[in-house]
Amino acid sequence: MRFRHRAAAAFATLLLPMAGAVGLASPAQAAAWGPPRSSVAESGGATATFTKTSDWGTGFGGQWTVKNTGTSAISSWTVEWDFPSGTKVTSAWDATVTNSGDHWTAKNVGWNGTIAPGASVSFGFNGSGPGSPSNCKLNGDSCDGTTVPGDAAPSAPGTPTASSVTDTSVKLGWSAATDDKGIKNYDVLRDGTKVATVTGTSYTDTGLTAGTDYSYTVRARDTADQTGPVSGAVKVHTTGGGTTPPPPGDKVKLGYFTEWGIYGRNYNVKNLVTSGSAAKITHINYAFGNVTGGKCAIGDSYADYDKAFTADQSVSGTADTWDQPLRGNFNQLRQLKAKYPHIKVLWSFGGWTWSGGFGEAAKNPAAFAQSCYDLVEDPRWADVFDGIDIDWEYPNACGLTCDTSGAAAFKNLMSALRAKFGSNNLVTAATTADGSAGGKIEAADYAGAAQYVDWYNVMTYDFFGAWDAKGPTAPHSPLTSYDGIPKAGFTTADALAKFKATGVPAKKLLIGIGFYGRGWTGVTQDAPGGTATGPASGTYEQGIEDYKVLKSSCPATGTVAGTAYAHCGSNWWSYDTPATIKSKMAWANSQGLGGAFFWEFSGDTSNGELVSAISDNL
């Protein structure tokens, strides 16, 4: 779709150091920055401190700092640590780094071995995988400056058990963790967020909401302040308050949630709860992950998994803390799924701006699928996602750029994704709605790929808009053709008919609804087909505006081809309303379609009236 581009993130990127790389692959070229994370306890004669300096989703930058806190010089140093399986160093500088399995060793190079009292030296590396170092040793002793070598982090406590469940509270108990130095305390996490720290092996959580699902885990901290892994999870449903809302029917009712909506739009996952929309949908597409270098990649690491939400912004009502395992939108989606277990979440990759990477991905579909699987199933957030959505605009055709990968490329890509993700994950795709003769539907083998996908999100909107600055004015999401339509085949009915004619089953086709309007200015004619002088003014972009704004600023004055339009002053807009959505859902039902989807949640009213129109009528 024309406007589905990623807003520029407010975080800088930089080139990682190239000089001094020692004996490993070249460092990654760019990294998205977020707040650095480090851990150290300083005491004794020397310390080694690790800091994660950057994180770009599939990898990270790390730095060790060795500090002489004693009274005599250190002549050489060796830092050792363990990484969890799947995490490794890919390049390093200012140290010689080697490994034996998951155990890593860094030794000083010739010029930086001597450290005077009070001085420090640092070396850096690039790593791949999600893990952080543990079991650190400096010259054979503890990295925190004590003289106890080999200090290990505590084990995971036993999975909690729940008892005495009421409307607003639950009692939790767990078996103790073990540690060579002894256990100091335990963190209790509700839906991934720390809610308490206790010294014993039980805790009563209060202030809960009646009739609500929660998930609890615990983790131990030893007397050296090392934190161990989290336990298994126990799910709790508080009494009273009715029951969890049932799944809203057997049709797919899917909405896109944009990662950048938490910035200028101030639209958070919690808004799905307060608007009532969460109870009325079945699926969420989280947009977007990037496609670059033939691989799936993080779109905005800060928004995705690092931003700390305040209590009033959070689904759980609890503020994020600096040391919790996962923050950002991913953690909020986890909390949403705990509250509404029927919702499935897919990670959508590509979109208008990031579709240029699919051509490279199509050259090696298996490698692309592996990269996507590794990212979606990253252990930090694997429980958040139920599958993957591909938004390639457009295979073997032109969008923001032109793709020449061939008609079979899309089928090959979807086949590889299904083979990798298997039958227990959803694999879907957003597709063109160009039903014209010789148009984009005919450019790729959508019918052949259909055997590998659960459904297609057919983007039945953005047919017409003010990129044609002089007009003619036309509804951007016509259901059917009408006299004077600027281009034949640019309708929902034509697109869906063409897909079905090629062999795509109707139940694998979803009708698309835009929660926004497209408009022109300099228009004197009420009916469609008028001339214009350019795009109408919009809040975020010229020629486009949210439904929640247009319903009051330029109310609908007529309908054409199943879509509302409005002429107010010199502006002319077209958009869907609850009434036109009702008629489109009735049409979708008559066609045997698998459901509906929409772009995107933040364009709706605060009480979710467009989501309600889809849910109530599909």
Structure tokens at 576: 């869907």
Angle at 608 between CA 259 and CA 241, to 5 degrees: 100
Q: How many CA atoms lie within 13 A of 300 on its CB side?
A: 22
- Whole-number Å distance between alpha carbons of 144 and 495: 65
- 513 phi, psi to nearest 5 deg: -125, 135
- The answer to whether 517 touches 575, Cβ cutoff 8 Å, is yes
Bin 240: left if φ > 0, else alpha if -120 < ψ < 50, else beta. Answer: left
**What positions carry a catalytic annotation?**
393
- Whole-number Å distance between alpha carbons of 438 and 452: 24
- Tell me which H or E stretch contains 246: none
- Whole-number Å distance between alpha carbons of 383 and 511: 28
Residues 6+ apart with CB under 8 A from 192: 215, 217, 324, 325, 326, 331, 334, 335
Residues 6+ apart with CB under 8 A from 601: 255, 256, 257, 261, 267, 271, 272, 275, 277, 515, 611
Which residue do the tokens 């004693």 mark?
70
Structure tokens at 605: 């009213």
- The secondary structure of the chain in percent helix, strand, coil, rounded to multiples of 5, reads 20, 30, 50
Q: Which amino acid is present at 452? A: Y
Q: CA dihedral in degrees (339, 272, 194, 190; nearest 10)?
A: 0
- The answer to whether 246 touches 259, Cβ cutoff 8 Å, is no
Secondary structure, 3-state, 298-356: CCCHHHHHHCCCCHHHCCCCCCCCCCCCCCHHHHHHHHHHHHCCCCEEEEEEEHHHHHH
Helix (H, G, I), strand (E, B) or coil at 598: strand
Structure tokens at 9: 């993130």
Residues 6+ apart with CB under 8 A from 312: none
- Whole-number Å distance between alpha carbons of 587 and 435: 17
